[in-house]
Amino acid sequence: MKNLPVLDLCVIALYLIAMIVVGIYFSRKNKSSEQFTKASGKIPGWAIGLSIYATFLSSNTFLGVPGKAFGGNWNAFVFSISMPLAAWVASKYFVPFYRTIGGVSAYTHLEHRFGAWARTYAVVCFLLTQLARMGSIFFGIALSLQALTGYSMSVIMIVMGVCIIFYTVLGGIEAVIWTEVVQAIVKTVGALLILFLIIKDMPGGVSDIIKIGVTDQKFSLGSLSPNFTESTFWVVLFYGFFINLNNFGMDQNYVQRYHTATSEKEATKSVWLCVWLYVPASLLFFIIGTCLYAYYQVHPEFLTSIKQQVAIERLPHGASSQEISQLASSLKPADYGDKVMPQFMVTNIPAGLVGLIISAILSAAMSTISSGMNASATVFSVDIFKRYIKPDITEKQNMNLLYVATVVFGLLGMGTGIAMIGVKSLLDIWWELSGIFAGGMLGLFLLGMISRRAGNHEALTATLIGILVILWMTFSNLIPEQYSFLRNPLHSNMIIVIGTLTIFLVGLFMTSVRKQPVTR
């Protein structure tokens, strides 16, 4: 790494070596697919809670949230405010449900309820969501390390991807959980350290930060008006509730952890521990973003290099210096918000501490990617390969399949991250993609769980209608101007809300009309 002192390189190297050692240690236990995917159900609730918290606290939070607060306000924090309600629903209904049915996959029961198509549809939605998630995380790693190393983002993603794939393949879900316990602590300490260093370098301290933030309305949670065409308080609240409901209730990353707990009580405890840790932690990152905004208002000269870098990325190769300067001068804070945290690290954090901060960012990324790889491999093994290709697969073959699938999904996630290079906002692109892919399967799941009379015909029809609605809401902006009245008028964060409600309500309506017999 070109710009990092030896001390920082040693800190980062020690962290990466420690993660690999953990993978090697747990590899000795992985003698069966049960151990690889469920850790034989022997993980305590507090460790699972820290693991789920670490998955939530990804590099999308570590870099995207400060960037969002820097370029705008605290509107996105409403997402975190919605978490306790979603957690209540999950702990009361979802955790007992999954612990009762027993299967490691979150989607097997959909086949029993509606048929093979429902299971396959949910699996495809989940895998697409995971690729979007892992891609955005890889992109977040590269975004921060590029500022420190000067290497291309593609090279950074490939190098880090190999390390993550290595320890995930070796250790299975148990290695994922215990490394995430460590990563949860590292990233939280790293965030607190960044906040301290920003305040320390601010001439007027906390009082000036508050004054600048109030003057520029940086603490606003968004408009309370019932306007669903913009990112108001209510749009983010609804989006957050439905996404978090999907996370706790349908996402294999979390459902798989419920099965690793020693009991239902411990699994429920893990959900609430995650919530009580993540809500204040996410607030911490919004505070960091506002502090960075105040700092660069006092020192605007430090933003020159960031603006020039963004301008170079957006202009065609070979653009003149005049074109670069003109575009750089026209950029707004929202255009370069994701880059301010890495810039501050380069210029303001002492040697040694930079290594710790980078390790925190790496841990934020590695925890989410590793869990996504393990969950994707598990779903592929159970819901696709064993269901459609080889039902009588042996235990040894299944273990080899899990290893190969973990590697493949890691590589696909890496490729998705490379494809995201150049996006405007890390948090925005992740929110939009997750809303598109998650809406359909959440609506189908709720229909099957709440309406015991809904049958295969109603579920399939409702899902097809829901998919059409989601596709229209997503791509209607491509409709020519003369037919603009046909475009989706709602904010993109409403896609998961409308998509979920469409499938659920259409299914209920058709069920009430047809009066199907009760499903046993």
Mean pLDDT of the chain: 83
Whether the CB-CB separation of 298 and 208 falls below 8 Å is answered with: yes
Confidence of residue 422 (pLDDT cuts 50, 70, 90): low
State residue 236's pLDDT score. 94
Is residue 519 predicted with pLDDT exceeding 60? no
Give the CA angle between residues 185, 240, 212 to the nearest 5°.
Answer: 70
φ/ψ region of 350 (left if φ > 0, alpha if ψ in -120 to 50, else beta) reads beta
pLDDT tens digits, residue range 38-91?
Answer: 666 678 888 888 888 887 877 667 777 888 899 999 999 999 999 999 999 999
Whether the CB-CB separation of 191 and 277 falls below 8 Å is answered with: no
Q: Tell me the helices (H) and strands (E) count for the chain, helix number first.
A: 24, 0
Alpha-carbon distance 298 to 204, whole Å?
A: 10
Is residue 37 predicted with pLDDT exceeding 90? no
Average of per-residue pLDDT across 407-416: 88
Residue whose pair of structure tokens reads 């590695």 in the numeric block: 366
What's the token pair of residue 306? 């960031």
Whether the CB-CB separation of 218 and 293 falls below 8 Å is answered with: yes
Is residue 171 predicted with pLDDT exceeding 60? yes
State residue 431's pLDDT score. 60
pLDDT tens digits, residue range 124-133?
Answer: 888 888 888 8
Alpha-carbon distance 24 to 120, whole Å?
A: 34
Is residue 1 predicted with pLDDT exceeding 60? no
Whether the CB-CB separation of 64 and 431 falls below 8 Å is answered with: no
State residue 518's pLDDT score. 53
pLDDT tens digits, residue range 458-497?
Answer: 999 999 999 899 888 888 888 888 888 888 899 888 988 9
State phi, psi for 261 to the nearest 5 degrees.
Answer: -75, 155
State residue 342's pLDDT score. 77
Contacts of 374 by beta carbon, 8 Å cutoff, 6+ apart: 37, 168, 172, 173, 176, 256, 406
Task: Give CA 455 to chain center in angstroms.
Answer: 33
State residue 210's pLDDT score. 93
pLDDT tens digits, residue range 316-364?
Answer: 877 888 888 888 888 888 888 778 887 787 778 777 777 777 777 777 6
Average of per-residue pLDDT across 361-385: 82
Residue whose pair of structure tokens reads 């575009």 in the numeric block: 327
Residue type, 206: V
Higher-pLDDT residue of 70 and 100 is: 70
Higher-pLDDT residue of 341 and 104 is: 341
State residue 430's pLDDT score. 60
Alpha-carbon distance 421 to 156, whole Å?
A: 12
* 424 closest CA partner among 493, 340, 336: 336
Whether the CB-CB separation of 406 and 374 falls below 8 Å is answered with: yes
State residue 474's pLDDT score. 83
Percent of the chain with pLDDT over 90: 22
Correct CATH for 6-420 of 3.40.50.11540, 3.20.20.70, 1.10.40.30, 1.20.1730.10 = 1.20.1730.10
Alpha-carbon distance 298 to 301, whole Å?
A: 9
Alpha-carbon distance 275 to 270, whole Å?
A: 9
Contacts of 423 by beta carbon, 8 Å cutoff, 6+ apart: 139, 429
Confidence of residue 3 (pLDDT cuts 50, 70, 90): low
Residue type, 488: N
The secondary structure of residue 5, as a DSSP letter, is -
Start-to-end CA distance of the chain, whole Å, equals 62
The full set of domain ranges for the chain reads: 6-420
C-alpha distances (whole Å) from 224 to each of 159, 237, 239, 497 are: 45, 11, 15, 18
3-state secondary structure 127-171: HHHHHHHHHHHHHHHHHHHHHHHCCCHHHHHHHHHHHHHHHHHHH
State phi, psi for 2 to the nearest 5 degrees.
Answer: -65, -45
State residue 35's pLDDT score. 67
Whether the CB-CB separation of 130 and 409 falls below 8 Å is answered with: yes
Residue type, 140: G
Alpha-carbon distance 23 to 476, whole Å?
A: 46
For 362-463, list the strands marked E by DSSP. Answer: none
State residue 29's pLDDT score. 67
DSSP 345-370: HHHHSPTTHHHHHHHHHHHHHHHHHH
